[in-house]
């Protein structure tokens, strides 16, 4: 019996591809799918991957995936609202650290089989 392809399974596959790609670039995984609840029925924040760069920078990564670029690329789907959720997740994550390392927000955009890594794609301002 073939397994059903869901939005979640496609997202998990994209995150796995992004993780391998970033590890190949020298980043190390700190945490995957970091989520902060806003309430019983609402998501508050989410960070797909939290990585550490070779220089010690903590990297909060948003992964976006599209089957093709027919309706615009994956990078174009990073709305300001999505950025705010990632920023909020980063803020909650950092509250648990004794000292804050340098940080940045990256995007990994996957269009079909093509992977594009956008370091410092947005900031917390």
- The third-level CATH classification (topology) of the domain covering 7-122 is Trna Endonuclease; Chain: A, domain 1 (3.40.1350)
pLDDT at position 105 is 97
Run of H or E residues at 75:
none
pLDDT at position 100 is 92
Asked whether the beta carbons of 61 and 22 are under 8 A apart, the reply is yes
pLDDT at position 62 is 95
Mean pLDDT for each consecutive 10-residue tract of the chain (125 residues)? 62 88 98 84 84 97 80 81 92 94 96 93 90
> From its phi and psi, is residue 66 left (phi > 0), alpha (psi between -120 and 50) or beta?
beta
pLDDT at position 78 is 85
For the chain, which residues make up each domain, given as ranges? 7-122
pLDDT at position 11 is 64
């Amino acid at each position: 019996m073939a397994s059903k392809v869901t939005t979640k399974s496609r997202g998990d596959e994209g995150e796995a591809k992004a993780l391998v790609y970033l590890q190949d670039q020298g980043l190390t995984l700190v945490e995957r799918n970091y989520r902060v609840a806003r309430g019983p029925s609402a998501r508050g924040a989410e960070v797909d991957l939290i990585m550490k760069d070779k220089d010690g920078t903590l990297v909060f990564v948003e992964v976006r995936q599209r089957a093709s670029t027919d309706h615009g690329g994956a990078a174009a789907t990073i709305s300001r609202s999505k950025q705010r959720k990632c920023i909020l997740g980063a803020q909650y994550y950092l509250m648990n650290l004794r000292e804050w390392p340098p940080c940045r927000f990256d995007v990994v955009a996957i269009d079909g089989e093509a992977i594009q890594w956008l370091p410092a794609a947005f900031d917390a301002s």
